[in-house]
Amino acid sequence: MVRLEDITLRYRPGAAPALSGLDFALEGGSFTWLMGPSGAGKSSLLKLLHLAILPSEGRLNVMGTAIHAAGRKELPALRRRIGVVFQDFRLLPHLDVLENVALPLRIAGRGEQQLLADATELLRWVGLAERMKDRPEALSGGEQQRVALARAVVARPALLLADEPTSNLDAEQSRRMVNLLRQMHRLGSTVIVATHNEALPDEYPAPILRLEGGRLASHG
């Protein structure tokens, strides 16, 4: 599903690398916890995997496409098969909750009827169906995070990336969020969840990819 070979990422040429020497592969249909202290490079690695940034060095392969060799025109179609729950949610402030969730389907050019039905269903799934007419700013942080999850999975992505998806949730809600991610895993998505909450993997034991200072500390 994803394969990294000696990947280095620098945000600016000549700057200290945020990621260096990363070399690992994740199977299709796997669930992986991405752990490490703040600043370890978890978000940077996820950005690389959903093609928001490109590696400075090394070879990156995502869903069978060699990103380092791919043309810029090939990337949007790949991105549409990847769902992301961003650390800072990134809901669009000028759209209501339902339209935010429907966004990936609009980008994919889905028809109006099916698109609204799917988005509504996903909002019900995360327990926010009654809030669908609200603007994101009217929601609590935890509610926004669930909307972000609904948006990430609405287009049934092959690869689901979640960056600190429980950072704004209490213990009960965290359990619920992990449960939702588990469900997506069971439905066949490859799931990678970044967190610095060491207790979270206890909820759902799975291989852990550990970063420290931008390097791979352990995998397994």
Partner 1 sequence: MAERLRRARGRDPLGLRRALSGPLLPGLVAAMALLAALAMAGAVAAAAMAARWEGGAAAAMMVQLPANAQTGPAAAALAALPGVAEAIPLERERLAALLRPWLGDAAGLPLPGMIELRLSTLGAGVEALPEAIQAAIPGARVEAHGIWVARLSALARSLEALAWLVLALVGAVAAAMVAVATRAGIAARHATIVILHDMGATDSTIASRFAGRIAFLAGLGAVLGAVLAAPLLYLLGGLAAPLLGNALAMPWGGLAALPPAAALIAWLTAQAAVRLWLRGLP
Applying the rule CB under 6 A, the residues between 32 and 91 that interact with ligand ATP are 36, 38-44, 87
Per CB under 8 A, the segment of 13-21, 27-35, 102-110, 186-194 that binds partner 1 is: 102-110
Under 8 Å between Cβ of 17 and 36: no
H or E segment to which residue 107 belongs: helix 97-107
Residue 149 CB neighbours (<10 A): 25
**Partner touching 196 among ligand ATP, partner 1, Mg ion, none, CB below 5 to 8 Å by kind:** ligand ATP
Question: Which of ligand ATP, partner 1, Mg ion, none interacts with 84 (beta carbon under 5 to 8 A by kind)?
Answer: partner 1
Here's the x/- map for partner 1, 126-155, by CB under 8 A: it reads as -------x----------------------
Should residue 216 be labelled a site residue for partner 1 when binding is judged by CB under 8 A? Answer: no
Phi/psi of residue 75, each to 5°?
Answer: -75, -40
Tell me the closest approach of the beta carbon of residue 194 to Mg ion, in angstroms: 6
Residue 195 lies near Mg ion (rule: CB under 5 A): no
Q: Looking at the chain, which runs of residues are DSSP E strands?
A: 2-9, 19-26, 31-35, 57-62, 65-66, 82-85, 159-163, 190-195, 208-212, 215-219
| Contact letters for partner 1, residues 72-91 (x by CB under 8 A) | x--xxxxxxxx-x-----x-
Under rule CB under 6 A, residue 14 binds ligand ATP: no
Query: Does residue number 103 form part of the binding site for partner 1 (CB under 8 A)?
Result: yes
* Residue 211: CB minimum distance to ligand ATP, A: 7
